[in-house]
């Protein structure tokens, strides 16, 4: 078979194309991990000039006249990077009075401003699916302000609803978003969400305030060492229950937390009892260990919630004796105190006693 010159050149071009395709494919495959690493988002706070421009553009697009410009210029002539969010909200007020109602949401009890809160939440939810995020620039900054302030006021449930919708790339202060979101998640016992926000704060956000990094590092250490059903987790649940009661919230969620606390204490005491019995058996021999087991108490049965009117409901009448541990009989209570005193730091027993004393002071029915 004879091959002419044209055929040879055609085959040569085809081979060159195949080689090029192979090289490109190998290149992409070889750098796949690097491309994934480079894709990690790095957040940084917006500069004062960029925020001013974004705010001005939003105001122009949301007003028919520009009589607000002198007041805008006056605001920004004294603006500082430390108070950018406040300056943005003050600017937005010049064209949208509704912002003032939203700013009042964290003032006092959330229940006094529930209508405004729900309106803000509804608008933010609708904006989260918008194809033009720049149109909702002001809404995002207002929502972060409200969520952060609610967190400082310990209104974590409502703050979390806002944090769950907000997108850090649309915020002028993503550092504050991750910081307050992690606090909110920690207080609501959302361990994984808190750790995720702390990672984004500490590893993916540039130039965060020193207080954010120091507090964030401490929170991360605590959360990573927190074990399920541990005394530390029980203490967290007690703090959450106490907070809700202080805010006047005694509904099903609080009742469930209280039941979880008692269940966890039961399990912890039972586990400690088993450990002690095993140690006694190992030290005294199988025969003596069997005799000792006959005198042990049944912590789970002795500390079960008796006479509850609803699942998890804790009747304050049952806590009439100051310092008593709920429904625990005197023997079981003394045993529990002794076990916890020997196995855990003193402040844990103090926290448990303080929690039940607080329940004892609440009027029945609250």
Residue 130 tokens read as: 């918008």
What is the C-alpha to C-alpha distance for residues 139 and 134, in angstroms, rounded to an integer?
10
Confidence class for position 214, pLDDT limits 50, 70, 90: very high
Residue-level pLDDT at 117:
94
Residue-level pLDDT at 303:
43
Of 293, 276, 296, 281, give the one whose Cα is nearest residue 342: 276
User: Which DSSP category does 314 fall into?
Assistant: -
Listed in sequence order, the residues at least 6 apart from 280 whose beta carbon sits closer than 8 Å to its beta carbon are: 288, 289, 292
Domain ranges of the chain: 48-225, 231-286+297-360
Is the per-residue pLDDT at 209 higher than 80? Answer: yes
Q: Helices (H) and strands (E) in the chain — how many of each? A: 17, 2
Q: How far is CA 353 from the centre of its chain?
A: 27
Q: Considering the chain, what percentage of its residues have pLDDT values greater than 90? A: 40
Question: Residue 43: which H helix or E strand, with range?
Answer: strand 43-44
- Residue 111 has a CB neighbour count (10 Å cut-off) of 12
Q: Is the full-model pTM beyond 0.85?
A: no
Give me the helix-helix angle, 48-61 and 84-93, nearest 10°: 20
State mean pLDDT over 150-164.
93
Is the per-residue pLDDT at 347 higher than 70? Answer: no
Listed in sequence order, the residues at least 6 apart from 213 whose beta carbon sits closer than 8 Å to its beta carbon are: 201, 202
Of 255, 219, 259, 241, give the one whose Cα is nearest residue 354: 241
Confidence class for position 232, pLDDT limits 50, 70, 90: low
State mean pLDDT over 143-164.
94
């Amino acid at each position: 078979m004879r091959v002419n010159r044209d055929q040879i050149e055609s085959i040569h071009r085809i081979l060159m194309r195949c080689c090029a395709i192979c090289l490109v494919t190998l290149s992409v495959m070889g750098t796949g991990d690097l491309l994934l690493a480079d894709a990690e988002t790095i957040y940084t706070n917006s500069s004062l000039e960029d925020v001013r421009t974004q705010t001005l553009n939003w105001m122009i697009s949301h007003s028919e006249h520009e009589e607000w410009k002198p007041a805008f210029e006056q605001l920004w002539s004294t603006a500082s990077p430390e108070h950018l969010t406040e300056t943005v909200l003050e600017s937005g007020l010049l064209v949208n009075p509704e912002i003032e109602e939203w700013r009042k949401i964290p003032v006092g009890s959330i229940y006094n401003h529930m209508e405004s809160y729900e309106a803000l939440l509804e608008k933010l939810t609708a904006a989260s699916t918008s194809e033009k995020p720049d149109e909702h620039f002001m809404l995002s900054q207002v929502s972060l302000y409200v969520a952060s302030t609610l967190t400082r006021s310990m209104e974590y449930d409502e703050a979390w609803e806002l944090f769950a919708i907000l997108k850090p790339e649309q915020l002028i202060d993503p550092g504050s978003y991750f910081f307050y979101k992690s606090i909110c998640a920690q207080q609501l016992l959302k361990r994984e969400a808190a750790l995720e926000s702390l990672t984004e704060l500490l590893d993916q956000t540039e130039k965060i305030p020193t207080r954010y990094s120091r507090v964030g590092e401490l929170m991360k250490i605590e959360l990573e060492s927190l074990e399920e059903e541990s005394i530390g987790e029980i203490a967290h649940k007690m703090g959450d229950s106490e907070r809700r009661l202080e805010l006047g919230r005694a509904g099903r969620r609080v009742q469930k937390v209280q039941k979880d606390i008692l269940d966890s204490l039961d399990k912890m005491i039972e586990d400690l009892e088993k450990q002690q019995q095993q140690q006694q058996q190992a030290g005294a021999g199988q025969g003596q260990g069997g005799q000792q087991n006959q005198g042990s108490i049944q912590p789970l049965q002795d500390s079960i919630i008796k006479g509850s009117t609803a699942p998890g409901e804790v009747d304050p009448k049952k806590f009439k004796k100051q310092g008593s541990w709920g429904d625990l009989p005197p023997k079981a209570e003394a045993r529990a105190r002794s076990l916890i005193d020997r196995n855990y730091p003193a402040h844990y027993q103090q926290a448990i006693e303080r929690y039940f004393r607080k329940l004892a002071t609440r009027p029945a029915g609250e």
